[in-house]
A and B are shown apart, each in its own frame.
Chain A
């Protein structure tokens, strides 16, 4: 059993980190009253932008394995953040400035983001001229996957707690910071007020538009990092189209599961990550159909959770009151 946990937990964690980024980003966004269903697209764009940055940098060097470590990390990181920021700005422009319907905009952004990812992914694959439909960025990936040098000597402890790249720890730190920001700072209080009751926040002199833009863009950038982590760390720097799968949607489900609390999302993401791969650990023999059933677990859990979270009546556990609604000052 212990051995099982030692091998299972690290895999659950690496599965959970992209979900944690996605859900933290979406929570920050939703607290401003923006229901950004574009998160899967944003994470996709974050991933492909990191890939593009890293690809161009690696190609500019004769020997990628000798690359400058700082640049090798910073270039994909900044490309990823820039790409996600653009997605966030686009979403805000449509929903806040033009007051477009948030659901439709979000879904369009997801479709758009996946399209952008696959387009550039496909183009890069063509450029490399490889036989397999994927791009391998192993040099960059190695940088992202750097572990503490002594982690390997610590037995199970090292394996469970220290066997991850820096982005995994960053995800947890960001989630804790976001939680603190929301609950213990003036900015957090005002951000929550914007999401709950923008008319009240407006009357209190809070700039609604600014808060919505800032929160949504910050949320998108956080979510985008999830895409970057997925490619560079989890997938060992291998990009293939559509491999990211439905993790973005799971991240959105997590937002409800955690009742809009990033700190809870740390554990919940790992739980979902575990459910996501549990089928690999359940002996099913040759019966592949049963395996497919186990793959459904995270989605079944999501549905069950949605049912239960809808049953809860406590006001604190409800979504931000004006979630999904555009704010119009004149409309009193």
Chain B
């Protein structure tokens, strides 16, 4: 393997989006006949790096060589001409077309369109690598794994030599994953270069020959998988602990009572994939419960289940009004749950779109919570206006006025409005997810401060975060999710980043999945 020229050589690749540096000076080699795992946490720049190889983004600086020759990849088509194909997390397939129609789509073959001949060729490829695809099946009839297979066959049909798979197992069941890995091995043995982007260590061990670790956009190092230990990889992935000096007042013991107890909660998503598996834990008043986990481990489903937005397969969620009265939240109307003081502030990736309406102003967005109050059919606008003024003042929202559409505010200010509104509802339980997503340091501290104040008021705060360092310094207890299961609950004051990191990847939780 060492003697041959690497198929792709990336040298000093950097890429930034506005202020955010997505990749800094990354260099790596990709060899034929090898499965390379690209390992890193969320936002570590794995996908961005591969998008530059597949022509979706263009690097700010650095060079790409293919078979020793420097090349410029300006579009997905260019990448294709060099035999590079990438399978994204979101499949690019036309639903009403058959597998074959999707595979030949956009190909400029000479002569008449002959779908039967193409179907024959698809069959051949499938037989060669052991895929299971019916060339005449419509895409909308296919399971997720079948769609993924069609994507892979599509690339092979076009003669791709270098295949990049972006978190291919995120949507697969364990059995489907095994099947996928079997064909990936076949492709490797056939001399193709396979790159798999992942943050799951067990997959890295399972399939890859070599692993390259990225952290915060930069290359950390690489290991030969067979010689690497999970401990080593975790350390490279999470890095050293950084001190942030976030306030963490001790929980007021006089308020402390169990507010919500979740027992044996199981949730399946619309595709029927289990997102939460037998999750049990308690939320106490006057504390911040952190939820850690690799993204997509069930955090969103967990919060939505509590807020009544997610159908629940099994289990119970009990809300303790006081020491005597207990209410079952499952099956309850979301509106009623919110009325009991359980509020959810979820900041999605695009930061708008959940909880706030971009084109409405701050007052109107405050009204989204309160428009049902007051004598019908009229709404009460003065209270929301006061609230808007209060939020703007107290949280230091930087805005020309409360009549400014939320869309025009900067990200940090949008989040302050969102969190401010939820807090103003005087909640008993505050569920916040990714509250500091994309915020600069100062705004983040304002949000931490807000959460701490709520905690001081005896609110049960749940904080789902991406940054382990923050979780470790802000939260009283940390619930670690891994693949929809509770990997463990640790004390935020005594645990280490390493411990949580290992639990996120299923080590602290015991058995390897």
Contacts and interface: CB of A to CB of B under 8 A. Distances in A.
Contacts of B113: 184-186, 189
Contacts of B101: 189
Contacts of B109: 186
Interface in B103-141: 104-106, 109, 112-113, 138, 140
A196 B97 contact: yes
Interface stretch (B9-17, B87-95, B337-345): B87-95
B140 A315 contact: yes
A192 B80 CA distance: 23
A315 B138 contact: yes
Contact of B92 (A184, A200, A315, A318): A200
A196 B105 contact: no
A316 B141 CA distance: 12
B106 A315 contact: no
A200 B109 CA distance: 19
A331 to B, nearest CB: 11
B96 interface: yes
Contacts of A189: 97, 101, 104-105, 113
B106 A321 contact: no
Contact of A197 (B77, B95, B112, B138): B95
Contacts, number: 56
On chain B, which size bracket covers the interface?
Answer: 10 to 19
Given A203-B92, A204-B105, A193 B76 contact: no
B105 A201 contact: yes
Contacts of A201: 94, 105-106
A205 interface: yes
A315 B95 contact: yes
A309 to B, nearest CB: 16
Given A186-B113, A189-B104, A189-B113, A205 B92 contact: no
A83 to B, nearest CB: 33
Contacts of B96: 192, 196, 315-316, 318, 321
Chain B contact surface mostly: loop
Nearest to B75: A205
B319 to A, nearest CB: 39
Contact of B93 (A185, A200, A205): A200
Nearest to B88: A203
Interface in B55-96: 76-77, 80, 92-96
B138 A203 contact: no
Contacts of B77: 205
A35 to B, nearest CB: 17
B97 A204 contact: no
A32 B196 CA distance: 35
Contacts of A199: 92
A52 interface: no
Contacts of A184: 113
Nearest to A184: B113
Contacts of A196: 94-97
Given A185-B113, A203-B76, A205-B76, A190 B94 contact: no
B185 to A, nearest CB: 27
Contacts of B76: 203, 205
A132 to B, nearest CB: 52
A320 to B, nearest CB: 9
Contacts of B80: 205
A193 B80 CA distance: 20
Contacts of B105: 189-190, 193, 200-201, 204, 206
A190 B106 contact: yes
Contacts of A321: 95-96
Contact of B94 (A185, A197, A205): A197
Q: Which of A190, A192, A203, A315 has the most CB of B within 10 A?
A: A203
Nearest to B105: A204
Contacts of A185: 112-113
A205 B76 CA distance: 8
A228 B307 CA distance: 62
A203 B93 CA distance: 10
Q: Which of A190, A193, A318, A321 has the most CB of B within 10 A?
A: A193
Nearest to A332: B90
Nearest to A204: B106
A316 B139 CA distance: 11
A18 B509 CA distance: 71
B137 to A, nearest CB: 12
Q: Which of B92, B109, B112 has the most CB of A within 10 A?
A: B92
Nearest to B54: A203
Interface string A7-44: 00000000000000000000000000000000000000
Contacts of A205: 76-77, 80, 106
Contacts of B104: 186, 189
A204 B106 CA distance: 5
Nearest to B86: A203
Nearest to B111: A186
B160 to A, nearest CB: 13
A160 B76 CA distance: 55
A192 B104 CA distance: 13
Interface in A264-317: 315-316
A184 B95 CA distance: 18
A185 B95 CA distance: 19
Interface string A226-249: 000000000000000000000000
A192 B109 CA distance: 18
Nearest to B101: A189
A160 to B, nearest CB: 36
A304 to B, nearest CB: 25
Nearest to B140: A315
A199 B76 CA distance: 12
A308 B97 CA distance: 24
A200 B138 contact: no
Given A185-B113, A204-B92, A205-B106, A193 B140 contact: no
B95 A193 contact: no
Contacts of B112: 185
A200 B94 contact: yes
A200 B92 CA distance: 5
Nearest to A203: B92
B83 to A, nearest CB: 15
A196 B95 CA distance: 8
B118 to A, nearest CB: 11
B94 A193 contact: yes
A205 B55 CA distance: 12
Interface in A152-210: 184-186, 189-190, 192-193, 196-197, 199-201, 203-206
A190 B113 CA distance: 11
Nearest to B141: A315
Closest 5 CB pairs of A and B: A204-B106, A200-B92, A186-B113, A205-B106, A203-B92
Interface of A: 184-186, 189-190, 192-193, 196-197, 199-201, 203-206, 315-316, 318, 321
Given A186-B113, A192-B97, 9 more contacts: A185-B112, A185-B113, A190-B106, A193-B97, A197-B94, A197-B95, A200-B94, A201-B105, A315-B96
9 contacts: A184-B113, A192-B96, A192-B97, A197-B95, A203-B92, A205-B106, A206-B105, A206-B106, A315-B140
